[in-house]
Amino acid sequence: MTETELAKRDKLPDALRTLLADFPRDEWQEHPNFAGLVAFWLDRHMMFRQLTQALQHDAEAAIDRKLDPQAHKARLSRYGGMLVSNLHGHHQIEDHHYFPVLSGKEPSLQRGFGILDADHHAMDGLLNRFTTSANGVLQDTAEPGAFRSELLSFGAMLHRHLEDEEDLIVPVILKLGPEGLQ
């Protein structure tokens, strides 16, 4: 394991966060290049966070018997399916379009795009574990507590990845503008 692996790092290396100094998070929304692509992309990330939080809340309510098991299964199937399918699609677009184009426009950050690509491969394994655990609840072969534990691990890795992806990509898009992705 290296310091850049998703399970080990607490942020991207400082050398890959240089544009973040020029484009700090608290100023993103005021930047002229924020509207449109950046806003949409960050909304997708927010959706992933919200789905993960909803799944965690539901699992905890099911554990505490405050949510009917059938209602829990319905919500888990709906929100879990949304999370998995949307994450896969999101990662495919990034891997096949955004990362190659942006790394070509900002060669000094190519290592960062490689790290994010490696995250996507690690996330595939996490998504498989997440799906297996969720299916256990849906098929009555596992308890919501086991799913909650898997979800907490998954959520922590997802959060780390989303933060790092935002720290690397948003400043590049703000700098280049949406036309920089062509």
Indicate whether 9 belongs to any domain: no
State residue 40's pLDDT score.
94
Residue that has been written with the tokens 């209602």 in this structure: 71
Number of domains in the chain: 1
| Inside any domain, residue 34 | no
- pLDDT reading at 180 higher than 80: no
- The confidence band for 91, taking pLDDT boundaries of 50, 70 and 90, is very high
Q: 108 pLDDT exceeds 70? A: yes
At 178, give phi and psi (nearest 5°): -60, -25
The pLDDT value recorded for residue 178 is 80
Q: What is the pLDDT of residues 23-69, one digit of tens each?
A: 999 999 999 999 999 999 999 999 999 999 999 999 999 999 999 99
Q: Is 1 helix (H, G, I), strand (E, B) or coil?
A: coil
Q: Is residue 4 part of a domain?
A: no
Q: What is the pLDDT averaged over residues 1-6?
A: 80
Decide if pLDDT at 2 tops 70.
no
Q: Is residue 88 part of a domain?
A: yes
pLDDT tens digits, one per residue of 138-176: 999 999 999 999 999 999 999 999 999 999 999 999 999
Residue 176, domain extent: 41-181
119 contacts 154 by C-beta, under 8 angstroms: no
Could you give the 3-state DSSP secondary structure of residue 11? coil
Q: Is residue 132 part of a domain?
A: yes
For the cut 70, the answer to whether the pLDDT of residue 8 exceeds it is yes
Q: Is residue 125 part of a domain?
A: yes
Tell me if 17 is assigned to some domain: no
Could you give the maximum distance between any two Cα atoms of the chain, in Å?
A: 53
Mapping DSSP onto H, E and C, the string for 43-98 reads: HHHHHHHHHHHHHHHHHHHHHCCCCCHHHHHHHHHHHHHHHHHHHHHHHHHHHHHH
The mean per-residue pLDDT over the stretch 97-114 comes to: 93
pLDDT for residue 179 is more than 90:
no
Residue range 132-144, pLDDT digits in tens: 999 999 999 999 9
Q: Is residue 61 part of a domain?
A: yes
pLDDT of residue 140: 96
